[in-house]
Structure 1
């Protein structure tokens, strides 16, 4: 159960990280704008996926109880 909540927080972290990469164009090094947008979008999409998966697991565990 705790893993699901941790996955939810991690998803939010990935979304914030993706937005930061898009805005500042920095991820351990200065990035070209095209690379920054691509990486930022991938991070945001992965964050949304993690949140979706965590919510579906939380709902599933509540239905089993």
Structure 2
């Protein structure tokens, strides 16, 4: 159960990191705008995926109780 909540926090972290990469165009080094937008979008999408997966597992575990 704790893993699901940790996955939620991790998903939020990825979304925030993606937004920061898009705004500042920086990820360990200065990025070209096209690369920053692409990397930021991938990070945001992955964060949304992790949150969706964690929420579905939390709902499934509550249904089993």
Return the alpha-carbon distance in structure 1 between the equivalents of residues 28 and 53 of structure 2: 28
Unaligned 5+ segments in structure 2 are none
Task: List, as ranges, runs of 4+ consecutive aligned residues in structure 1 with deviation greater than 3 Å.
Answer: none
Q: Structure 1: state its 5+ residue gaps.
A: none
User: After superposition, what is the alpha-carbon deviation per residue over 1:8-50, rounded to whole angstroms, capped at 9, x for unaligned?
Assistant: 0000000000000000000000000000000000000000000
Equivalenced residue count is 65
Give the TM-score normalised by the residue count of structure 1.
1.00
Question: Secondary structure of the equivalent of 1:29?
Answer: coil
TM-score (norm 2): 1.00
The alignment's C-alpha RMSD in Å is 0.1
For 2:20 and 2:5, the matched residues in 1 are separated by: 23
